[in-house]
Amino acid sequence: MTISGEYTKKSITIPTGLYQAVESRTTSGGFSSYVAVALQRQVEQDNLADLVADLEAVHGPVSPEELELRVQDLTW
């Protein structure tokens, strides 16, 4: 997956083990792309969490029984 658009260079500090895990999965120049995709996924997850919170504020939380029914609908 490639993310198009303008880019900003940013220095980050990450645990050595995490750096090594990412480095082992990428080719030359692929580290930044790997991190950008991971950050994009995190932003999407954060946006979904915000949406759920907004919906729960309006409609109330989903009951465990209702959640279980929906999970069963998704199970193949």
pLDDT given at position 61: 94
Supply the pLDDT for residue 52: 94
Q: Which residues contact 56 (CB under 8 A, 6 or more apart)?
A: 62
Q: How far apart are CA 21 and CA 23, in angstroms?
A: 6
C-alpha span between 3 and 13 (Å, rounded) = 22
CA distances to 8, 33, 36, 50, 73 from 44, rounded to whole Å, are 19, 17, 12, 10, 23
Mean pLDDT of 45-68: 95
Structure tokens at 22: 């990412």
Rounded to two decimals, the pTM is 0.75
